Amino acid sequence: MTMPKYKRLSPETRASELVQAGLQVLSRGGITAFTIENICKASGASRGLVGHYFGGKDGLLAACYGAAYAPLLESIAEDKAPLTLNGLIEELLSERHLRRDGMAIWLALWGEVAVNPVLQAEHLRHYRSYRTAIAQATARHFGRDAPAATDETLAAALIALLDGIWLEACIAPTEMDLGRARAAIEILLKGAAR
């Protein structure tokens, strides 16, 4: 008895497998490897399923962006006990977020965000939630009840610094270690405290 070429899965499971295959393709070959053919080969799905579940390649790319952002958003989720700013920074500098394969995915996605309107919209949606959560942690750090404009600005600066740290850790890991990253953030926070 021969097994069917494609296995039957629930729609949620199949969509999730396509996203995971997309992330795998991005981590191994960057944005140029992100083709329907490569994703279907990695997931064992037929080509039509990408269009069925995501409307096409851009829809799947947006879903992959959301999946890449998910660990960051989980780190700062509102239903968790509020993290201190120092605790949040330690989490964001942890191995969970500094994995080499994860960094390769971010490099591929960041390059595409600049030129892809679908991905730009997905980025803004997640970035705003991320920035707001960091601004709330900043307000708590400085003893304020609610984030002020300076907390939003500091949150944006912290995100930019973290993005730079992650980028440097990916492309030149010998030049950026956790000690240097923590020192850079400490300097930024000391300046903000004045």
Tokens of 39: 């994703």
pLDDT > 80? residue 1: no
What confidence tier does 3 reach under pLDDT thresholds 50, 70, 90?
Answer: very low
CA distance linking residue 21 with residue 67, whole number of Å: 11
Best-predicted range by mean pLDDT (129-133, 137-141, 143-147, 179-183): 129-133
Q: How far apart are CA 44 and CA 188, in angstroms?
A: 47
Q: Hey, what amino acid is at 57?
A: K
* Confidence (pLDDT) at 128: 92
**Domains in the chain: how many in total?**
1
pLDDT in tens, 119-139: 999 999 999 988 988 888 888
Q: By residue range, what is the domain housing residue 99?
A: 58-193
Check pLDDT > 60 for residue 182: yes
What is the rounded CA–CA span in Å between residue 146 and residue 166? 29
Residue 22 domain flag: no
160 assigned to some structural domain: yes
**Other CB atoms within 10 Å distance of the CB of residue 142:** 15
